[in-house]
Amino acid sequence: MARLNYRHLEYFWHVAREGGVTAASRVVHVGQPAISAQIRKLERALGEELFDRTGRTMVLTEVGRVVYGYADEIFSTGRDLTDAVDRLPGRAPPRLTVGVVDSIPKLMAHRLVMPALEKFEHLRLELTSGLPDGLFAALAVHDLDLVLSDSPLPTTVDVRAYNHFLGECQVVLMGAPELASQYRDGLPECLGNGPILMPGLHSNLRRHLLRWYRDRGLEPRVVAEIDDGAVLKVFGQRGLGMFAVPVAVETDVARQYDVERITVLEGVREEYYAISVERRIRNPAVAAITEAARKGLFFEDTDQLDAPDS
């Protein structure tokens, strides 16, 4: 008999457990044709049919039931093995790899991932930022556990992943004190003449801002388009233009960059998503991030939003 390929056996095990290739595909995040091909290779290696196939129905043969029993024991033992190793003294801390779409403010990214670090004292966090396509590609091959994004996974992206909505918040326009005092009067008409720092082309916030201006018959005077949110805020700190900020991090931005609120951009709201290959989140560190965001991060202070701009 050919040497047993445990990857093929694992796919068979998932199909038998889930009751079909379609359900197993959702669990292992592999396409149905690939799973079917791997099972056929396992059957050739064993020299036996493992399923009776009638249309889309797959029922274990007598040999299939025997193989499933052994497979169940093998993978149960495997889980026990990894759990035992994880408990060994001196074992490296658990790791969480997170990709952050570069249009998300760094302060927001910090707010989002902190609950995982607070809950798991020895967690090793690996965080990277970049353009969405590159991050989604890394997620697809399991180089990332999670992608934090300001928009859901596009339907055009060929990645089997799931959107977990975290929340949304209002957006405010901020600027250096001198610029803020100059453009607070005569809102919103005066903003048509005011300099603005625009997020890059990949930013969802950019599209919201352009629509906000268009709906009010205004033409923004864009002085710079900047992909990196931290660089954009430094330009704003130097008085080169106004910029938009989610209200959830407004206080931090004001303190760090010495800028002030100019106005609330009515109708502009930023959404945030955790994108994972898990339909139902099982990773406890990822769960800590999603639960904390939904419970409190995006609850807005109504008094703060309604406060006068002066």
**Does the bond joining 195 to the residue before it have cis omega, within 30 degrees of 0?**
no
Q: How far is CA 208 from CA 107, 151, 204, 279, 297, in A?
A: 20, 12, 7, 29, 21
DSSP 161: -
What CATH class is the domain 95-167+273-297? alpha beta
Separation CA 160–CA 165 (nearest Å): 17
Same CATH fold, 95-167+273-297 and 6-86? no
Q: What is the CATH number of domain 168-269+300-306?
A: 3.40.190.10
Q: pTM for this structure? A: 0.64
For every one of its 310 residues, what pLDDT tens digit does the chain have, with 9 covering 90 and above? 457 888 899 889 888 888 888 888 877 777 888 888 889 999 998 999 999 877 667 889 999 999 999 998 888 788 777 766 765 666 656 788 999 998 888 889 998 999 999 988 778 899 999 888 889 988 888 889 999 999 898 888 878 889 999 999 899 999 999 998 888 876 777 787 889 999 988 788 899 999 999 998 888 889 999 988 889 999 999 999 999 999 989 999 999 999 999 999 988 999 999 999 888 888 888 999 999 888 877 755 434 444 433 3
Q: What is the CATH number of domain 6-86?
A: 1.10.10.10
Closest CA to 145 of 167, 161, 168, 165: 161
Given this model, what pLDDT does residue 93 score?
61
Is residue 102 within 8 Å of residue 151, measured between CB atoms? no
Task: Give the domain ranges of the chain.
Answer: 6-86, 95-167+273-297, 168-269+300-306
